[in-house]
Amino acid sequence: MIAPVVDAAWTAAHLDEVVLADVRWYLDGRPGREEYDAGHLPGAVFVELDDWLAAPASPREGRHPLPDPDVFARGMASLGIGDADAVVAYDDQGGVVAARLAWMLRVTGHAAAVLDGGIGAWAGPFETGSGPRPAATFTARPWPQEALAGADDAADPANAVIDARQHERFVGAGPDPVDPRPGHIPGAHSLPAREHLGPDGRLLDRAALRERFAAAGVDGERPVVSYCGSGVTACHNLIVLEHAGLGTGRLYAGSWSQWSHSDRPAATGDE
């Protein structure tokens, strides 16, 4: 198992030993594939989040529920990612999207990491086209229950519940742009994933990251439950939690997109 986060220098030195995975995806609906085709890391495969990293959206399950393990396995195999491959996932948002793939692989026992700084940290060369990797064997494994949380866990004050969305969505400042209700899960703490990044798009140092988690109620004692809008950037908080040396947490995959369709209470402001 490789570290949860690796830098560009490490990646360049291990290009022949890893599979690079481009996981560019945008909340506004822009196709990430177009950005991949315009330029990507050498030999990288493009992973379509909506095809392979999520099941179809529904009010009951949320906008990005985890896919059936067989679907995930079929997607990885078709991209040439096999059981024994180590994967370095990247995007152009500091890893907040690519972390979904890295987390899914890591919790099912595969070697995977997020590229610190994403494509912006890569000095080159870049490719605009590459041949597909040969299909591989990727064994479907069930999502481990110890890595998952549900709505009841997110409501449990015994857990440190962290919200990876931008702060304005957490406080419910105006209508939510994609979900039916604004606000956040009562008792949760705001911990925007994008604010783990410095001006250069790379992660803050570990001491600064630990301070951020401590301010959000992560004390090393209470179990951590991470959520966001739909369970994507919540994975970044979990990857960074591990990178900072604070252990592992659980993903509430349904996240706000599931909670806000229910009759559970919503909090607003800096509760």
- Measured CA distances, 158 to 171, 210, 243, 254, 256 (Å): 22, 20, 23, 20, 19
d(CA 258, CA 64): 9
Q: Please work out, in degrees rounded to the nearest 5, the angle formed at the alpha carbon of residue 156 by the alpha carbons of 177 and 237.
A: 55
What the block records as the tokens of 23 is 């996981």
Q: Which residues pair with residue 113 across a beta bridge?
A: 88
- Measured CA distances, 257 to 146, 186, 217 (Å): 22, 15, 23
Assess whether 235 carries a catalytic annotation: no
| Contact status, residue 234 vs residue 247, Cβ threshold 8 Å | no
Q: Which residues of 16-49 are buried (b: 16+ CB within 10 A; e: fewer)?
A: eebbbbbbbbeeeeeebeebbeeebbeebbbbbb
| Contact status, residue 118 vs residue 95, Cβ threshold 8 Å | yes
Q: Which position among 115, 224, 228, 234 bears the catalytic label?
A: 228
| Contact status, residue 99 vs residue 239, Cβ threshold 8 Å | yes
d(CA 161, CA 106): 21
d(CA 96, CA 237): 8
What the block records as the tokens of 270 is 């800096």
Query: Residues with catalytic annotation?
Result: 228
